[in-house]
Amino acid sequence: MRLSSTTIASLPRQVSRFEYDRDAQAVGIVHFGIGAFHRAHQAWYTDRAMDAGDRGWAITGVSLRSPAVASRMLPQDCLYSVTERSSGAASARIVGSVRDVLVAEAEREALAARLAAPGTRIVSFTITEKGYCRATDGSLDHDLAGTGTIYPLLAEGLRRRMAAGGTGLTLLSCDNLAANGRQLARLLGDYCERHDPALGRWIAARCSFPATMVDRIVPATTPADLAGVERLIGLRDEAAVLTERFSQWVIEDRFAAGRPRWHEVGAQLVDDVASYETAKLRMLNGAHSALAYLGLGRGHRFVHEAIADAEILAIVLRIMVDEAAPSLEPGPGQDLAGYAETLLARFANADLRHELRQIAMDGSQKIPQRWLETLAFHKARGNTCPGLLTAMGAWLAHLRGDPALVSDPFAEQARGLWQAAGEERFAEAMFGAQGPFAASCPADAFDLRTITAALRQIGR
């Protein structure tokens, strides 16, 4: 039997669930990118905030590309379970905050109407790094920012809102970009500048773009996971997500038209998220990408296997503790040594079965904020970063390897650079002063030699 609003009553008592009247909740949030991460994170916080007494923050989820999530969620009345797994134990909660799912291109009209609706007060995003359509220097790539991306869809809906004399709203980026709120404001501003400057002015005057740091490890759900959830909850849930117990959400408290009481269910509302965001990007995500490329290079499949490999552990510790942490300015009460310890324990969670391939995806979009900013910091002070340089070599080995295993919008260009430059000069072609990443951090001769040595060793 499938999970739905009819069958929910038959769930075993140990499966926790919301108690609010779901049908009575108005939609307050439109969320772009209704994938596993959003379902295990922001939608889960919003569900618990409504359960704690807040009202009227139901979510319209938007799929930008495939109708797959809609076809999993709609037959279940958009109900789904979040299962937390650690130390062999699993506990599930049914989440009721998602009201409906729209498939963007097929339902443009409904989406524009929802964005313009007076009840919509927050538009949030988990569209991955590449969803923002940035060129390697970080500017908006106008050729990419067309049909199928957030830009024309937002412009259409917000234009309608503006024309109807509607209020401004909050645009909340929940992706792993440095200063994600500011970047979204800038990129959307650039888009409007070209296509509709009056709308750009309306957005700048009426809307806000708080920065956020989001954190929860959410591996892609597998068929075996779905079978496990079915055993746990007694119902088939095609939209189930599995995650760790840990979860963190730090949000800049600058909302144009109100927000759910997320702070009552564990989110931290602060004046400035920068210190949390940078620590997370450089330490957690930086270590993750290193684990992915070093781990795959050494034949591992999962994060917990890679972190148990002593050689990889040594490099990851170096990156987190000796390279990333000293590049950060901790905020009040932020303990970076403790943070590194917690991260190691989270990476070691074997119940998560987090595939390295999932993290290895889209490296070109991730590496500038995860690695190159740390490298640039140390370079300015005359320090070297052997851990990061080794990881960069591992990334090059990955890009040069079996094309079927490389998923990255930059893959073809990287392959072209590799074919033209050969092993000896591939590092220079990528990270040297003329390379595509020069704006983030041009590597010097020492760096290039170290990266090349790592590439040689890993590629053997």
In the complex, which residues of this chain contact ligand CS2 (CB under 6 A)? 176, 215-217, 285, 288, 358-359, 366
Q: How far, in Å, CA of 253 to CA of 258, rounded?
A: 10
Nearest distance in Å: CB 228, ligand CS2: 20
Nearest distance in Å: CB 130, ligand CS2: 11
Task: Closer to ligand CS2 by CB, 123 or 177: give it.
Answer: 177
Q: Are 436 and 392 spatial neighbours (Cβ–Cβ below 8 Å)?
A: no
Burial class (CB in 10 A: 0-12, 13-18, 19+), 171: buried
CA distances from 314 to 324, 336, 348, 438 (A): 14, 18, 14, 28
Q: How far, in Å, CA of 238 to CA of 225, rounded?
A: 10
Report residue 269: phi and psi, to 5°: -100, 120
Nearest distance in Å: CB 246, ligand CS2: 9
Nearest distance in Å: CB 448, ligand CS2: 25
Task: Closer to ligand CS2 by CB, 93 or 216: give it.
Answer: 216
CA distances from 146 to 152, 164, 177 (A): 6, 25, 21
Nearest distance in Å: CB 438, ligand CS2: 23
Nearest distance in Å: CB 362, ligand CS2: 8
Task: Closer to ligand CS2 by CB, 22 or 41: give it.
Answer: 41
Q: Are 328 and 282 spatial neighbours (Cβ–Cβ below 8 Å)?
A: yes
Alpha helix stretches (DSSP H) within 318-439: 336-347, 356-360, 363-367, 373-380, 386-400, 411-431
Q: Please name the residues in contact with 445: beta carbons below 8 A apart, sequence gap of 6 or more.
A: none
Task: Closer to ligand CS2 by CB, 130 or 378: give it.
Answer: 130
Q: Are 336 and 279 spatial neighbours (Cβ–Cβ below 8 Å)?
A: yes
Structure tokens at 291: 């684990």
Task: Closer to ligand CS2 by CB, 169 or 359: give it.
Answer: 359
Task: Closer to ligand CS2 by CB, 91 or 358: give it.
Answer: 358
Task: Closer to ligand CS2 by CB, 240 or 281: give it.
Answer: 281
Residue nearest ligand CS2, Cβ-based = 288
Nearest distance in Å: CB 285, ligand CS2: 5
